[in-house]
Amino acid sequence: MRYLVLGSGRMARGLVHFLKRRDPGARIRVVDVVASAARDLARLAGVEAGRLDLASRKAVRAAMQDADVALSAAHYRFNVMLTEEAARTRTHLVDLGGNNDVVARQVALSPRVARAGITVVPDTGLAPGMTNLLAMWAIEGMDDVESVHIRVGGVPLEPEPPLNYQLVFATEGLVNEYVEDALLIRGGRLLRVPSLTEVETLRFPPPFGVMEAFHTSGGASTLVRTLRGRVRDLDYKTIRYPGHAARMHALKHLGFMGSEPLIAGGARVSPRALTGLLLEKHLPSGGPDAVLVRVTAAGKRRGRRVTVRIGLVDIFDRATGLTAMMRTTAFPSACIAWMLGRGIIARPGVHPQETVVPIRRFVREMRSAGLALRRSK
């Protein structure tokens, strides 16, 4: 099997780790526009490396023609183009997503992808990603689904004020979550609500204790449309330490996340881009982290009310050096790529993961990889 990993950032390391463990005989090639970054990861992981500028379709096409499955850990702005090139080169593709509009454009390409006989699964990872599949697992066997509530967050084990947050993925994706509206189902209707709103409190085992959760964009992704008509209420909220939402909401309200350029000192400045740069500069990024996941579904099975809870608390792995966010984001995506390569998923076209991934097999693979998913009724 030949895998092509596009990008060599934080998540790429987790992708390579899973693929090497699950498919030890495979050929894995990591490419990046910064050749030295790709080489550093390749040297660390014992895989191949190369330089690739995703702005060049010709170069992308050549790289994908030499792969059975491509995994994109690059910015979501490339994903429509990558989907088109996947169809041209007949290469399966998974990506880490991050933007609802981009995913919709990819899904619109499904007929072309299906004619090529390959499968594209967008928006994989943690949330959206694994949580979509956990939600489907939670409602499995229910005749009537009343509600699905998804709560997920990556948090530092050693929080530092004022935001009590550390960078575990690109700031562009983080700011995007706080800027765009969140999609949800309420009373059977598809709704948009502002991000950073409807803050609630949750309790987790020590050392976390009381945490907060609030709406952010993108986390439910395709799930709201997949389950529309089947569930009355579905929402996704991000978990943080208490007070985080209020501080980020203040920045948003004051315009620090706006996209319209301003004139400052004779230069045109994008507040959103500047905020991202400042977060990158001043937030910690190297400390131990945790990922908290809680999915709760309520409904009826054979006329009896049931509530299913699925939980995960994953901690930075000192043995491998993989952060909890790397593990919980990259492992699900790499697992789906492996399933595509092995023919376990064999449905041509562009498909939301919750419609094509064999969920129980996926859960077994995640547990085998060290993610201690727990399910209770």
Mean pLDDT in each 10-residue stretch from start to end of the chain (377 residues)? 95 96 96 96 94 97 98 95 98 91 95 98 95 97 96 96 88 86 95 97 96 94 93 98 97 94 88 92 92 98 96 96 96 98 97 97 98 94
Q: Dig out the tokens for 192 from the structure.
A: 């948009």
Q: Does an H or E element contain 225, and which?
A: helix 223-226
Q: Name the residue ranges covered by the structural domains of the chain.
A: 2-125+327-372, 127-322
Beta pairing, strands 304-315 & 374-376: antiparallel
* CA neighbor of 318 nearest in space, from 310, 330, 326, 308: 326
Side chain identity at residue 30, one-letter code: V
Whether 100 contacts 183, CB under 8 Å: yes
pTM of the model: 0.94
pLDDT confidence of residue 168 = 78
pLDDT confidence of residue 122 = 96
pLDDT confidence of residue 265 = 82
* CA neighbor of 235 nearest in space, from 280, 181, 308, 279: 181
Instruction: Let me know if the fold of 2-125+327-372 is the same as that of 127-322.
Output: no
Q: Dig out the tokens for 323 from the structure.
A: 């952060």
Cα–Cα distance measured from residue 289 to residue 196, given in angstroms and rounded to the nearest whole number: 22
**CB-side neighbour CA atoms (13 Å) of 250:** 6
Side chain identity at residue 245, one-letter code: A
Cα–Cα distance measured from residue 273 to residue 270, given in angstroms and rounded to the nearest whole number: 5
The set of residues, in sequence order, having a beta carbon less than 8 Å from that of 327 and lying 6+ positions away, is: 14, 291, 314, 317, 369, 370, 371
The set of residues, in sequence order, having a beta carbon less than 8 Å from that of 206 and lying 6+ positions away, is: none
Q: Dig out the tokens for 138 from the structure.
A: 């939670």
Whether 195 contacts 180, CB under 8 Å: yes
User: May I ask the CATH class of domain 127-322?
Assistant: alpha beta
Domain 2-125+327-372, CATH: 3.40.50.720
Cα–Cα distance measured from residue 77 to residue 93, given in angstroms and rounded to the nearest whole number: 15
Cα–Cα distance measured from residue 5 to residue 93, given in angstroms and rounded to the nearest whole number: 10
pLDDT confidence of residue 323 = 95
The set of residues, in sequence order, having a beta carbon less than 8 Å from that of 53 and lying 6+ positions away, is: 33, 59
CA distances from 130 to 138, 278, 333, 339 (A): 12, 30, 8, 14
pLDDT confidence of residue 98 = 75
Report the interhelical angle of 359-368 vs 131-138 (nearest 10°). Answer: 120
pLDDT confidence of residue 299 = 97
Cα–Cα distance measured from residue 129 to residue 337, given in angstroms and rounded to the nearest whole number: 13
pLDDT confidence of residue 176 = 85
